[in-house]
Chain A
Amino acid sequence: MVRHNWTRKVAIAGISAGCLVGQSLAGEYRNDTRFRDAVTAFVANSGQSAQASVLAKTAGGREAPLLQVATPGDTPIEARRAILLVGGIDSDCPATAETALDVITELVSQAHAEADGPAARLLHDYVIYVVPRLNPDGIERFFEKPQQSSRLNGRAVDDDRDGLVNEDGPDDLDGDGVISVMRVAEPGGEWMIDPEHPNLMRRADASKGEVGVYRILLEGRDDDNDGHMNEDGAGGVDPDRNWPHFYESGEIGVGAHQVSEPETLALARFVVDHPRIAAIIVYGRNDNIVSPPKGEQRDAAGVAYRDLHPDDVKLYAHISEKYQELTGLKRSSKGDPRGAFYAWAYAQRGIPVLATSVWAPEADKPDDAKPADTSDADVAEGAADDDEAQVENKPERRKKKDKSDDPEETDPVGLRVISNADNQAAHGGAPLAGEWRPFDHPTLGRVELGGVAPFATTAPAPEELDAIAKREATFVLDIADRLPRLSLRDATCKAIGPGVWEIELTLVNDGYLPTRIGAARLAECPPTIVRPDLPPERVLGGKRLERVPVLAGSGGAAKLRWLISGADGETVTFIAGSVIDPEIRVEVKLAAADKEKAQ
């Protein structure tokens, strides 16, 4: 087990153990320093119930914080089921870090406001772990000038393998503080102006006779004069493509190998070392709640499911309805499980994982079924990819992606999303690139700068953050209510011979979720074990350890039976539990009475 060095709780006058304070939400984006201050303040204002530690120190030298939140109760914290909230893993979605910290702040406030309300029960019965900002290196780019959307962390990576690191990133050519999109009129270009939205671009469809006339790049120049534009910018590794499930080995930005980064390694160890984590909610670019995936594609070995296990599809569909009802979020960017944290935790650890983007920009057409998608980060990476292909002169190097699977491929990358006016509204009037502006490029000649601004499609306006956190907090409460709840019930004791007793017990799951979801059973998560607390020689019939691989939710039950030896009137304890399930006990009195109810 990894021992976390929880920072000492800050003593605040007038706050006693377990006493919570109402805290208001920040309603803003906080840079690294301010975010860490906010974590410290949250802990200080949470009495004895919150502790903070450093989960990992990143390649960029920043700290990814870890919070543990639970009020004292009869059950020790390490014996409780846990819920893990993860935010800020996708640094093109900086709001998700705010959401993660704000959600737990909101829950603590609610627990303070209503001492026997659902939030108070949540913190009393469970432990909540929060990793609010897994990729602090990447998120800091949101606050830097020029502002640039990137999913990569701060590791120095030689993307184009020329022996130099980060030597040719995008450049703010026009000095407006933002890395915009650059379009270059060029015969054979893949892109055309969207006839419906003149400010937006989309890929030309030659099969319909459309002619591509533009090449799309991120704003920049060929800093190292190698013939390739922006092919080796700042960073890095995408911490949400660095996980072992459907890992895209050898691709740019996925890391030297799986869980290669300090922050992903630390989170992997944390999840592995905390098997009582019964649900994970990931706030990030991926979604599996608003649009639960339906495919049944398997991995190369033909065993693991790329998306959901078939047995879990209906559960997710039901939770999806509930989520949309609670949060009002009905559009999503879908999820890409390849190397993603949410997919790993679900498929390889068997944990119910709910991933949401917490916000989506307004659709450009209300009836547009297709989700609005992504940011110019895609253009950055896409452009680098194209250039790399040229560098390597091996276009077949890249695996052919299944386009139908990949929203980034089917949707015109981050450009055909919303009109400029919608942008302005979504960002509270913040200045955004929108109109295409001519610019004299040092090597390309006359180009135009514009397109959708960085973060326009992935970061809600600050004023929206509080409401998002409050909505997501209700969903945490909802999920907590759905976790498995085990009890040992209906104990019967029958004397079947001198000193020999037949005991029957039923293990029942009153929670909504099964004790092991489909993915958990496939991943061979250990079973729930039920055993009489007796020396082996007193168990005459039945198994000394009864293994219950799964109990369905909503009342799933397993009837268990033993023959044991014992004296009339003796009390025998039966214990159920596992590394996953908190321990429960029931005492059965050995008595000739036909039916002895358990206590």
Chain B
Amino acid sequence: MKLVRSSLIVGVWAVLASNATIAQDNYQFASKTPIAWDRLNDYDQVVQICRDLVAGYPDLLKMESIGKSVQGRDMWALTLNVEKTGAAESKPAMYIDANVHGNEVQGTETVLYTIWYLTKSYGKVPQLTELMDRTAFYFVPMINPDGRAYWFAQANTPHSSRGGQKPTDNDGDGLFDEDPPNDLDGDGNITQMRRLDPLGRWRENPDDPRIMVRVEPGARGEFRRYELLGNEGIDDDGDGDVNEDGPGGYDTNRNWPADWQPGFIQYGAGDFPLSLPESASVANFILARPNIAAVQSYHNSGGMLLRGPGVKYVEYPPADVRVYDRIGERGARMLPDYRYLVIWKDLYGVHGGFVNWTYEDLGIISFTNELWTARKYFGTDERPDRDDLMAFNDDLLFGQSFVDWHAVKHPLYGDIEVGGWTKTSSRVPPPFHLEEECHRNFAFTMFHAEQMPLLEFQNVETTALGPNLWRVRVDVVNRRSIPTVTAQAQKRRFGPRDSISINGDGRVVAGGEIKDRFLGPFEAVEHQPQRLWVNEGIPGDGLRGFQWIVSGAGPLTIRYDSPRAANIETRVEFK
């Protein structure tokens, strides 16, 4: 990573400090790019918002396509970087993406909100300005563009369509996507089908006829009996199964290299790791940026801050778990309805998940947030029951998220009725909640980003040992919680190692790490004492000391190099 002059950061900070009072008094300043946060945006609208943000803040934002989706849509990445404080690759960076599952859409708005809030805050909000001056951000708002486009443009159930749009033979008949659900009433929702049937096992709930309940054995009285026929569909391929081979049929978030397992072990894994153009493009983007020191991925739903492992047999080193816990527990406070959980233990088993890859193979502290939870409907601790869901629909959404049962003609079943929850009813927040979701999650990622390594030299001391012979010692201090090299990154040998070097006039006679600050000699290395390799990096909220014996008159420059921190340099004079 290239060098950032520490004096520059100090300079900017000084200017900002004088404006701090004004800035903090007024956080309602406008963005140059006004965006409404009460709506969800389809693929094209998101691209336009990205373009508008770049147009509004050309000095801070750059936008590039990092690849094409299966259906040929661009995968847009935005880089937020303050060029005057150094190139993006010279700073620790946070990578944030969303929408790996096609129907988990509001993460994209959260990413857009993040860009929007950060750009408008630069130079106005000291805390964020300082963060932007020392770090960089990479955003990929839609890593499954086809899935997003499909969710907005096509009829869906409250839980479809999760994967991408690569045609897939789900039923092993040699045909691809030949029997999707069919929107019988053309209302943009795939709801349920029911048919009057004197032998049916279902009836309307007497208290709310929209809700279907089982007929109790021995039930008396007059009521209509129904058979439920599943999601709207017509058996397009005439094979006797309805909706058994819809669009796609795989899971883009099981296609990543860490603990990847084939389809017969992990549903939807794809033919091999990174077999999809979307995941391959994202992986190439991340692998080409060794300065990425934090990762956030947005999903829905359930109100969760998730970390790996995805399976029981993978273990995370305790030192890294402590970092995770510090960030995750803080996040659970910032997101009061969210819980900080471990994927395999608290949710379900995942092989080949994205944040599993970025942490387990690359050693980057990575979170998946599952945005939105029904616990917010009425502020309850537990998920509300079905009556509560209907009450929320009626009282707060004025019935907009439920399609009442109504008659349609079905080619196989004849006269039937369709009705049920709309595609936006479950996994995405209603508009009046969206902005709060965006803001709190954005704030959580800022806390995470803030924890990326921040190095400084302390206790730089020179001692004369004899004529022309000096001892030089220095502490390298990390002022933040994330180490420059996580325990996992070290274990998996990812990326170049950290090093500290001493250069200038004179000869470096010996050098090494000071293993104990108070006792004993330093550990002199056998080779190349002028550049010491620091395999374990500088721990979070910690330090490491180094020492050299140098012959000569100086001056010398000491420099600490780390891929995931801004490099620091200091000059030593002998007096």
Q: Which A residues lie at the B interface, using CB under 8 A?
A: 158, 161-163, 222, 225-227, 244, 247, 249-250, 252, 256-259, 268, 272, 299-301, 303-304, 348, 391-394, 397, 522-524, 526-527, 529, 535-536, 543-545, 547, 577-579
Asked if A259 and B265 make an inter-chain contact with CB atoms under 8 angstroms apart, the answer reads no
Which B residue's beta carbon lies closest to that of A244? B272
Distance (whole angstroms) from the CB of B563 to the closest CB of chain A: 9
What are the nearest 4 A-B pairs in CB distance?
A: A526-B172, A227-B527, A257-B257, A536-B238
Asked if B311 and A579 make an inter-chain contact with CB atoms under 8 angstroms apart, the answer reads no
Which A residue's beta carbon lies closest to that of B273? A258
Which B residue's beta carbon lies closest to that of A583? B174
A161 to B495 Cα, complex, angstroms:
7
Asked if A526 and B496 make an inter-chain contact with CB atoms under 8 angstroms apart, the answer reads no
Contacting residues, chain B, for A394 (C-beta < 8 A): 490, 535
24 A–B contact pairs at CB < 8 A?
A: A158-B496, A163-B496, A227-B526, A227-B527, A227-B528, A257-B273, A258-B272, A259-B273, A259-B274, A272-B271, A299-B261, A300-B313, A301-B311, A301-B313, A303-B265, A304-B261, A304-B264, A348-B262, A523-B263, A527-B172, A529-B172, A544-B238, A544-B240, A578-B172
A290 to B496 Cα, complex, angstroms:
42
Distance (whole angstroms) from the CB of B160 to the closest CB of chain A: 23
A247 to B528 Cα, complex, angstroms:
35
Per-residue CB contact flags for chain B residues 508-529 toward chain A (1 = under 8 Å, else 0) read 0000000000000000011110
Known: A225-B528, A394-B535. A579 touches B257 (CB 8 A): no
Contacting residues, chain A, for B527 (C-beta < 8 A): 222, 225-227
Contacting residues, chain A, for B361 (C-beta < 8 A): 249-250, 257
Contacting residues, chain B, for A579 (C-beta < 8 A): 169, 174
A250 to B489 Cα, complex, angstroms:
10
- Residue of B260, B272, B525 most packed against chain A (CB within 10 A): B272
Of B240, B283, B287, the residue contacting A536 (CB under 8 A) is B240
Q: Does B497 contact A (CB under 8 A)?
A: yes
Known: A161-B495, A244-B272, A257-B273. A301 touches B174 (CB 8 A): no
Q: Does B258 contact A (CB under 8 A)?
A: yes
A163 to B533 Cα, complex, angstroms:
11
A579 to B175 Cα, complex, angstroms:
9
Contacting residues, chain B, for A249 (C-beta < 8 A): 257-258, 361, 492
Please report the number of residue pairs spanning A and B whose Cβ atoms sit closer than 8 angstroms.
Answer: 114
Q: Does B239 contact A (CB under 8 A)?
A: yes
Q: Does B259 contact A (CB under 8 A)?
A: yes
Q: In the complex, given contacts A299-B265, A579-B174, what are 9 additional A-B residue pairs having Cβ atoms less than 8 angstroms apart?
A: A162-B496, A250-B492, A257-B273, A257-B274, A259-B273, A301-B261, A397-B493, A526-B174, A529-B174
Asked if A256 and B287 make an inter-chain contact with CB atoms under 8 angstroms apart, the answer reads yes
Q: Does B173 contact A (CB under 8 A)?
A: yes
Main SS class of interface, B? loop
Distance (whole angstroms) from the CB of B194 to the closest CB of chain A: 23
A299 to B262 Cα, complex, angstroms:
12
Contacting residues, chain B, for A225 (C-beta < 8 A): 527-528
Distance (whole angstroms) from the CB of B147 to the closest CB of chain A: 21
A301 to B312 Cα, complex, angstroms:
9
Of B169, B272, B496, B528, the residue contacting A259 (CB under 8 A) is B272
A158 to B563 Cα, complex, angstroms:
14
Of B169, B262, B274, B490, the residue contacting A304 (CB under 8 A) is B262
- Residue of B173, B262, B273, B311 most packed against chain A (CB within 10 A): B262
Contacting residues, chain B, for A393 (C-beta < 8 A): 535
Asked if A244 and B497 make an inter-chain contact with CB atoms under 8 angstroms apart, the answer reads no
Distance (whole angstroms) from the CB of A539 to the closest CB of chain B: 9
Contacting residues, chain B, for A300 (C-beta < 8 A): 259, 311, 313
Contacting residues, chain A, for B351 (C-beta < 8 A): 301
Known: A250-B493, A394-B535. A268 touches B272 (CB 8 A): yes
Asked if B283 and A257 make an inter-chain contact with CB atoms under 8 angstroms apart, the answer reads yes
Known: A161-B497, A523-B262. A545 touches B239 (CB 8 A): yes
Asked if B528 and A392 make an inter-chain contact with CB atoms under 8 angstroms apart, the answer reads no
Distance (whole angstroms) from the CB of B144 to the closest CB of chain A: 20
Q: Does B120 contact A (CB under 8 A)?
A: no
Asked if A545 and B173 make an inter-chain contact with CB atoms under 8 angstroms apart, the answer reads yes
Contacting residues, chain A, for B261 (C-beta < 8 A): 299, 301, 303-304
User: Which residues 245-266 in B have Cβ within 8 Å of A in the complex?
Assistant: 257-265
Contacting residues, chain B, for A258 (C-beta < 8 A): 257, 260, 272-274
Distance (whole angstroms) from the CB of B49 to the closest CB of chain A: 32
Distance (whole angstroms) from the CB of A398 to the closest CB of chain B: 10
Per-residue CB contact flags for chain B residues 460-490 toward chain A (1 = under 8 Å, else 0) read 0000000000000000000000000000001
Q: Does B491 contact A (CB under 8 A)?
A: yes
User: Which residues 171-189 in B have Cβ within 8 Å of A in the complex?
Assistant: 172-174
Distance (whole angstroms) from the CB of B264 to the closest CB of chain A: 5
Asked if A162 and B535 make an inter-chain contact with CB atoms under 8 angstroms apart, the answer reads no
Asked if A578 and B174 make an inter-chain contact with CB atoms under 8 angstroms apart, the answer reads yes
Contacting residues, chain B, for A244 (C-beta < 8 A): 260, 262, 272-273
Contacting residues, chain B, for A247 (C-beta < 8 A): 260
A226 to B529 Cα, complex, angstroms:
10
A158 to B493 Cα, complex, angstroms:
11
User: Which residues 11-66 in B have Cβ within 8 Å of A in the complex?
Assistant: none
A226 to B240 Cα, complex, angstroms:
69
Asked if B533 and A162 make an inter-chain contact with CB atoms under 8 angstroms apart, the answer reads yes
Distance (whole angstroms) from the CB of A246 to the closest CB of chain B: 11
Distance (whole angstroms) from the CB of B3 to the closest CB of chain A: 15
A527 to B527 Cα, complex, angstroms:
62
Which B residue's beta carbon lies closest to that of A227? B527
Contacting residues, chain A, for B287 (C-beta < 8 A): 256
Asked if A524 and B496 make an inter-chain contact with CB atoms under 8 angstroms apart, the answer reads no
A572 to B528 Cα, complex, angstroms:
83
Which B residue's beta carbon lies closest to that of A243? B272
A268 to B280 Cα, complex, angstroms:
14
Distance (whole angstroms) from the CB of B493 to the closest CB of chain A: 6
Contacting residues, chain B, for A272 (C-beta < 8 A): 271-272, 275
A393 to B496 Cα, complex, angstroms:
16
Distance (whole angstroms) from the CB of A222 to the closest CB of chain B: 8
Distance (whole angstroms) from the CB of A109 to the closest CB of chain B: 36
Distance (whole angstroms) from the CB of A31 to the closest CB of chain B: 31
Asked if B313 and A526 make an inter-chain contact with CB atoms under 8 angstroms apart, the answer reads no
A247 to B361 Cα, complex, angstroms:
13
Contacting residues, chain B, for A523 (C-beta < 8 A): 262-264
Contacting residues, chain B, for A304 (C-beta < 8 A): 261-262, 264-265
Known: A249-B258, A526-B169. A397 touches B496 (CB 8 A): no
A300 to B314 Cα, complex, angstroms:
9
